[in-house]
């Protein structure tokens, strides 16, 4: 769909404003305001869209493109507003599905990640709950199942059972990197260069620099024995979309997912590194992903001297739809002269790679046997026989 922005008019704008009002981001319509006035994408609508994007961890640009529209469409649903069921061809997506998943997680049922998609795992968890409370076990969430959910108190809080399952799976795999699978995602690509900064006769692009970082990281992790896959190649053409990147990692059954980006801002003083992991405003989070984000952030800051913009929980599709611990690293601001001077230096990019590699190794140490940040000599992380390989989506 084309992006809707300030100054646009039409029925689509009416629908956008209707959803924003249902979320109390726009004031209710006053008597006589319906009609042409409600078809205008005005300054108030743009401000409300920005507030929605900020709250949902989306790109804050005040425009409604594909990503924002999907999030708005999902946000209109509240648990109980419709019956929920598994549809293989066209799965139900919405905030009501996410609310159901979070409630089940808090009661100890395994729905995986609270991703807002009513898939097979959610249907199995609902069916198990139904069996235990004496409701017809069909895996669909209708009025009787909702009544049972409302009657029962929560057994645990914060999605802890899912956190324990994530942690157990990680630690059962052992300390060594050998034979573990990691997907490295160089952001953007194809016709999308990401952040672009002219620099004299040169033109630095986010897509090229993060692909170089990903390639260097692939080589080092493969030498340590990991099975390494990249979500895209360097060749021109259409880069995979977010869902394709997530599906690629999920189909591989990857153990970890690391997406690499560079940031940009109109203010050249904006600088530093930030790392993001999955987490919702209700408190349900990927605790293993949060730990990976913290390790990556601390290692990069210490080993490179980049500013510390800290770690943050987001519900971005890239973090929400991947079924393994996943992080997105914004490894500096390409629009910052200070950061850019470092990022264009191949030796400095090697230091970022070493930092991420050290963080990956520390992920597999038990928490009580962790080591100080910056203390791992990554040159010693070598497999007896290199088992790594590079694959990109076909």
Sorted by where each starts, the structural domains of the chain and their CATH numbers stand as 11-75 (1.10.101), 95-157 (1.10.101.10), 166-380 (3.40.630.40)
The pLDDT of residue 303 is 97
Show the DSSP H helices in 173-257 as ranges: 206-223, 242-252
The residue with tokens 């039409």 is 10
Per the CB < 8 A criterion, the answer to whether 260 and 214 are in contact is yes
Report if pTM > 0.85: no
DSSP string, 80-111: TSS-B---SSS--BSHHHHHHHHHHHHTT---
The pLDDT of residue 19 is 93
Q: What is the pLDDT of residues 168-193, one digit of tens each?
A: 677 677 788 888 999 999 999 988 89
Strands 256-263 and 326-333: parallel
H or E stretch at 148: helix 143-151
In this predicted model, which residue has the larger pLDDT, 70 or 165? 70
pLDDT over 50 (residue 385):
no
The pLDDT of residue 299 is 98
Q: What is the pLDDT of residues 57-101, one digit of tens each?
A: 677 889 999 889 988 999 999 999 999 999 988 889 999 998 898
- In sequence order, what are the residues at sequence separation of 6 or more whose Cβ sits closer than 8 angstroms to the Cβ of residue 262? 187, 194, 195, 206, 209, 210, 330, 331, 332, 333, 334, 343
Cα–Cα distance measured from residue 311 to residue 308, given in angstroms and rounded to the nearest whole number: 9
Distance (Å) of CA 26 to CA 19, 29, 30, 60, 211: 9, 9, 12, 17, 41
Q: What is the pLDDT of residues 314-357, one digit of tens each?
A: 888 899 889 899 999 999 999 999 999 999 999 999 999 999 99
Q: Burial-class residue 393 by CB neighbours within 10 Å (0-12, 13-18, 19+).
A: middle
Q: What is the pLDDT of residues 296-312, one digit of tens each?
A: 999 999 999 999 999 99
Cα–Cα distance measured from residue 214 to residue 259, given in angstroms and rounded to the nearest whole number: 9
């Amino acid at each position: 769909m084309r992006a809707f922005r300030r100054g646009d008019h039409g029925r689509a704008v009416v629908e956008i404003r209707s959803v924003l009002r249902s979320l109390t981001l726009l004031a209710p319509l006053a008597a006589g305001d319906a009609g042409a006035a409600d078809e205008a994408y005005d300054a108030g609508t743009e401000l409300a869209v920005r507030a929605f994007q900020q709250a949902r961890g989306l790109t804050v640009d005040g425009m409604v493109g594909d990503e924002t529209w999907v999030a708005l469409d999902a946000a209109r649903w509240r648990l109980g507003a419709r019956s929920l069921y598994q549809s293989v061809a066209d799965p139900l997506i919405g905030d009501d599905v996410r609310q159901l998943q979070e409630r089940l997680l808090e009661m100890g049922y395994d729905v995986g990640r609270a991703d807002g998609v009513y898939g097979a795992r959610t249907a199995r968890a609902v069916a198990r709950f139904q069996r235990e409370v004496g409701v017809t076990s069909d895996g669909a969430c209708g009025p009787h199942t909702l009544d049972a959910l409302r009657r029962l108190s929560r057994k645990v809080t914060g999605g802890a059972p899912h956190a324990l399952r994530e942690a157990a799976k990680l630690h059962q795999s052992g300390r060594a990197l050998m034979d573990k699978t990691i997907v490295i995602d160089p952001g953007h690509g194809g016709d999308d260069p990401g952040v672009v900064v002219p620099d004299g006769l040169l033109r630095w692009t986010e897509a090229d620099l993060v692909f170089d970082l990903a390639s260097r990281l692939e080589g080092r992790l493969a030498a340590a024995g990991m099975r390494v896959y990249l979500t895209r190649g360097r060749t021109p053409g259409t880069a995979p979309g977010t869902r394709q990147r997530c599906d690629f990692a999920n189909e591989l059954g990857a153990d970890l997912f690391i997406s690499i980006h560079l940031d940009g801002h109109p203010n050249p003083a904006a600088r530093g590194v930030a790392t993001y992991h999955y987490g919702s405003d209700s408190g349900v989070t990927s605790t293993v992903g949060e730990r990976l984000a913290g390790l990556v952030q601390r290692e990069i800051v210490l080993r490179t001297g980049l500013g510390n913009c800290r770690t943050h929980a987001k519900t971005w599709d890239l973090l929400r739809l991947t079924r393994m611990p996943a992080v997105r690293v914004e490894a500096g601001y390409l629009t910052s002269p200070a950061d850019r001077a470092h990022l264009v230096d191949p030796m400095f990019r090697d230091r970022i790679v070493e930092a991420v590699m050290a963080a990956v190794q520390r992920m597999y140490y038990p928490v009580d046997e962790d080591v100080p940040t910056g203390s791992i000599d990554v040159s010693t992380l070598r497999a007896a026989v290199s088992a790594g390989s590079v694959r990109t989506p076909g």
